[in-house]
Amino acid sequence: MNLKNYLVARQKKIDRALDRYLPKENAKPATIHKAMRYSLFAGGKRLRPILCLAAAETCGGKIDGALPLSCALECIHTYSLVHDDLPSMDNDDFRRGRPTCHKVFGDGIAVLAGDALLTSAFEIVSHAKTPRRYDMSILLREIAIAAGSQKLIAGQVADLEAEGQKTTRAQVRYIHENKTAAILTTSVRLGAMSANANPKQLSAITKFGRALGLAFQIIDDILDVTQTSEKLGKSAGKDIAAKKATYPAVIGLEKSRAEARRLTGEAHHALSIFGKKAEALHELANYLLEREY
């Protein structure tokens, strides 16, 4: 499989669907719809929706069945970035290569654009066809829990509270598992659910998502220390400057690399029950985890 062509084709499919689901830019009140679309169509890689569609195919389903769920995940991810960039949180001026939402529309509209993207996600989920094993309440609960105060928001709270504090390895793991890995895990789980995955398949996909999500964030932490800003395409060394809780800060670079490699192996191994059907998920894991770190 040609990964580059695969990614571009999937991104296009997801972008077209997002465009259909979201209110048009001039829908009243235009400011909020402009702000939502400004951040949503800013050139994100669409990793979460792409993983969702790939998990659906791995479990024997069709991508169209997973499409609304995959779009909902991208709305939640974008909302979290818009809010994370706010001055009261990470205070970033640039995101996805352009000025952040609050820099263009002001803090108030950026807060509301994030709120509206989060709310839209649930409306979009309601368009999903429900497979036999997973009814709408199960799909809604899955996404609500992942985005809620015990997962995504829990990770963000722990991250904010850890800044400048001495943290343990368990605390950093908690932050990464919730802030980053939870939505990635839910992405593959929802794809699997849309394909009516059996319990064994869902459990394998969940293990894959958890290992992939944690490895992805540990590698991000390592790259922040080891790479230049030019190579990263964003400012390097930000974590140290902000005294963030990261793996390299807590266990050092070498142990962080070893942990990322161990989790990468675990992610691939989790897919063994699917044989050749998991080719796309293996390739996506390679793309995300086999960066030079």
Binding residues vs ligand GRG (CB under 6 A): 44-45, 47, 77, 80-81, 83-84, 96, 152-153, 156, 179-180, 220
Q: Which is nearer to ligand GRG, 152 or 195 (CB)?
A: 152
CA distance 57 to 54: 5
CB of 129 to ligand GRG, least distance (A): 26
Residue pair 278/209 in contact (Cβ under 8 Å)? The answer is: no
Q: Which residues lie across from 94 on neighbouring strands?
A: 99
Tell me which residue of 233, 36, 10 sits closest to 118, measured CA to CA. 36
* Tokens 């770190």 found at: 293
Q: Which is nearer to ligand GRG, 67 or 81 (CB)?
A: 81
Residue pair 71/117 in contact (Cβ under 8 Å)? The answer is: no
CB of 130 to ligand GRG, least distance (A): 27
Determine the residue type at 265.
G
Q: Give 25's DSSP letter.
A: T
Q: Which is nearer to ligand GRG, 130 or 238 (CB)?
A: 238
Tell me which residue of 85, 76, 80 sits closest to 123, measured CA to CA. 76
CB of 206 to ligand GRG, least distance (A): 19
Q: Which is nearer to ligand GRG, 47 or 284 (CB)?
A: 47
CB of 281 to ligand GRG, least distance (A): 16
Q: Which is nearer to ligand GRG, 82 or 202 (CB)?
A: 82
CB of 1 to ligand GRG, least distance (A): 21
CB of 49 to ligand GRG, least distance (A): 10
Q: Which residues lie across from 95 on neighbouring strands?
A: 98
Q: Which is nearer to ligand GRG, 280 or 284 (CB)?
A: 284
Token output for 171 = 């605390």
Q: Which residues lie across from 99 on neighbouring strands?
A: 94
- Environment class of 116 (CB within 10 Å of its CB; exposed 0-12, middle 13-18, buried 19+): buried
